[in-house]
Copies of this chain bind each other. A is one copy, B any other.
């Protein structure tokens, strides 16, 4: 007679998918001898513990009355101003930037601001499942567009938009990770970014640009973000909203990121923050502000680059040494991931089962695709977490299974 709790769930809750990646991480975590390229974790060696320990102590002693108190939902004003300086965007007004509880939080609020159940978001295929899950939890239908080595294909984007509009689908925005993309490691060059912006303007579609890895560039010239290009070359300060993260440059446990965009987007995002978290952690915000203000961030970023570049090099070298000739992989200029493509005959879901038995792990490519158009002959390798010697050994183990 009484209802089961599950019968009470909201529709979005009842339809939530299980996270396969979390299952995979559980299977591989803590297994003795396991070499895991599966997670997307920064190396603990990169955490600036001594500096942070000092700063937390100092900030609480000196500014504790302020930062232990309730703070603004759009974030600590001190932190916002220091971020504007650090990002070299001093002209931004305070209502064009908000601090978020990590960048996924910004992506969630952006989606909440715009998406009604059934609305469509266009993303890269393959794309980042964490973001796609956040979007789908708001009832969005996520549609993928194929990529080449420079990211999302402009023709693919145009055709996808046209086909959706023809079916009267409410396409709400385009979501992209243009640099060292998760999972593919690919980076959009400047021309591709312009092409994508032109299409967004043509079809009057906002862009959400996710940039968690931008600072982790090991070589090559820095490329303007879509957010910058839209403002400068297209004279359009409302088209692109950018989400950034401190997870990859300071420590993901601190849960800090920020979003910058037009006030018409940031304002409703802040309203969602009020209702959901009230504000990010105020102590952590101020500590991060002082960390940047005191000039530690540039050195910190360089330290991470010096740590990760040899790991990427070791992985690329090991792939060259051990993989059969038919196998291809991306050669990212930064970030944390390499994308490997096998013959069509290879099924990386099967390969994963085998690999775990041989104590090497990765994420099968199928986990990164929206429900349609899943490809099975790809996989993601993370190179930021394991030591170079383990990277060599792990890739060798993997190649032996093919």
| Residues 271-300 of chain A, each 1 if its beta carbon lies under 8 Å from chain B, else 0 | 110111111111110000000000000000
As a 0/1 sequence over residues 62 to 91 of chain A, the CB contacts with chain B under 8 angstroms (1 = contact) are 001101111100000000000000000000
- A195 close to B (CB within 8 Å): no
- Chain B residues contacting A105 (CB-CB under 8 Å) are 276-278
Residues of B within 8 Å of A70, CB to CB, are 41, 247, 252-253
Contact with B along A1-45 (1 / 0, CB 8 A): 111111011111100100100000000000000000000011010
Asked if A57 lies at the interface with its beta carbon under 8 angstroms from chain B, I say: yes
Q: When the two chains form their complex, are residues B272 and A13 in contact, meaning their CB atoms are under 8 A apart?
A: yes
Residues from chain B with Cβ under 8 Å of A56 in the complex: 53, 56-57, 60, 283
Contact: A276 with B134, CB < 8 Å? yes
Chain A interface category by residue count: 35 or more
Residue pair A204, B284 in contact (C-beta under 8 Å) = no
Task: Please judge, given known A-B contacts A49-B60, A52-B60, whether A279 and B262 are in contact too, CB under 8 Å.
Answer: no
Question: Which chain B residue lies CB-closest to A131?
Answer: B275
Q: Is A156 an interface residue (CB 8 A)?
A: no
Task: Let me know if B277 and A255 touch, CB within 8 A.
Answer: yes
Does A104 sit at the interface, judged by CB under 8 A?
yes
Instruction: Determine the distance from Cα of A253 to Cα of B137 in the docked complex, in whole angstroms.
Output: 28
Taking a contact as CB atoms under 8 Å apart, the answer to whether A130 and B16 are in contact is: no
- Render A176-197 as a binary contact track against B, CB cut-off 8 A, 1 for contact: 0000000000000000000000
A243 surroundings in chain B (CB, below 8 A)? none
Quote the shortest CB–CB distance from A79 to chain B (angstroms): 12
Q: Please report which residues of chain A, range 238-259, place their CB below 8 angstroms from some CB of chain B when the two chains form the complex.
A: 238, 247, 250-255
Tell me, yes or no, whether A114 is within 8 Å of chain B by CB: yes
Closest to A287 in B: B56
Task: Report the Cα distance A3→B203, complex, angstroms.
Answer: 11
Check B274 against A277 for contact (C-beta < 8 Å): no
A127-138 near B? 1/0 per residue, CB < 8 Å: 000100110011
17 contacts between A and B (CB under 8 A): A5-B206, A9-B268, A10-B119, A11-B116, A13-B272, A44-B64, A44-B68, A49-B65, A56-B57, A57-B57, A70-B247, A101-B276, A108-B277, A137-B276, A253-B279, A254-B281, A281-B281
